[in-house]
Amino acid sequence: MRKQFLLFCAFLAITSVAGAQKTKKLFNGKDLSGWAIHGTEKWYVENGELICESGPDKEYGYLSTDKKYKNFILDVKFKQEANGNSGVFIRSSIQGTKINGWQVEVAPANQHTGGIYESYGRNWLIQPKPEDEKYLKQGSWNKMRIKVVGDEVTTWLNGHQMVYLKDEKIGQGEGFVALQIHSGGGIKVRWKDLKIKEM
């Protein structure tokens, strides 16, 4: 009987770990459930895609997850229209539209998509090598993967590793995941297949 009990406990522990590592959708393809809008820029759903678009104020805007995420693998697909300057924030917090955290850049060609930028802080922490800028397919769908574990961040674009960064300050960070729309106007980016796996 004790052996059966121990086996049952082991089974529960294994299934609990497996459940914690299950990949889940961040975007349901229908509405913005689970997300919060910051600023006056436009965030809406169209044909199963999440769209960010400049509004009349042409300022920074953010769409953040209601939940905080510490260690994870995040997969997203994006397609840039018009200017296409955006980004994915990790372990972030916000007051109004002043965000504290780290951005994995999404930008036009040769403007360091996949690099890591610290807003209102140290600015660029790491940029892709010049020869890696070619992996961005502007005007087409791109797949980005972001892995955040402890003080290490790794990014991939269309299957190619863009940067790896080990940073003590990021390791201490906590907060949500967010999408950004840059200030200046004339920006439109489409997103889909946003999935996260907590580590």
Q: What is the CATH number of the domain that holds 73?
A: 2.60.120.560
Query: Does residue 16 fall inside a structural domain?
Result: no
Structure confidence at residue 87 (pLDDT) = 96
Q: pLDDT of 173-199, one tens digit each?
A: 999 999 999 988 889 999 999 999 999
Task: Report the distance separating Cα 87 and Cα 66, nearest Å.
Answer: 18
Q: pLDDT of 58-93, one tens digit each?
A: 889 999 999 999 999 999 999 998 777 899 999 999
Query: Does residue 88 fall inside a structural domain?
Result: yes
Q: What is the token pair recorded at 192?
A: 């889909």
Reported pTM: 0.88
Query: Does residue 7 fall inside a structural domain?
Result: no
Whole-number average pLDDT of the chain: 90
Residue 1: pLDDT over 80: no
Rama region for 131: left / alpha / beta (φ>0; ψ in -120 to 50; rest): alpha
Residue 10: pLDDT over 90: no
Compute the chain's Rg from CA coordinates. Answer: 18
Task: Report the distance separating Cα 82 and Cα 172, nearest Å.
Answer: 36
Rama region for 68: left / alpha / beta (φ>0; ψ in -120 to 50; rest): beta
Residue 9: pLDDT over 60: no
Query: Does residue 5 fall inside a structural domain?
Result: no
Q: Which has the closest alpha carbon to 102: 73, 79, 72, 122?
A: 122
Query: Does residue 3 fall inside a structural domain?
Result: no
Task: Report the distance separating Cα 102 and Cα 91, nearest Å.
Answer: 7
Structure confidence at residue 161 (pLDDT) = 98
Q: What is the token pair recorded at 133?
A: 């800028």
DSSP state of 70: S
Q: How many domains does the chain have?
A: 1
Structure confidence at residue 56 (pLDDT) = 86
What is the domain extent for residue 95?
23-198
In a 10 Å sphere around its CB, with 0-12 CB exposed, 13-18 middle and 19+ buried, how is residue 131 labelled?
exposed
Query: Does residue 161 fall inside a structural domain?
Result: yes
Q: What is the token pair recorded at 151?
A: 């003080």
Query: Does residue 12 fall inside a structural domain?
Result: no
Query: Does residue 166 fall inside a structural domain?
Result: yes
Q: Which has the closest alpha carbon to 134: 158, 150, 118, 152?
A: 158
Indicate the pLDDT class of residue 57, thresholds 50, 70 and 90. Answer: confident
3-state secondary structure at position 29: coil
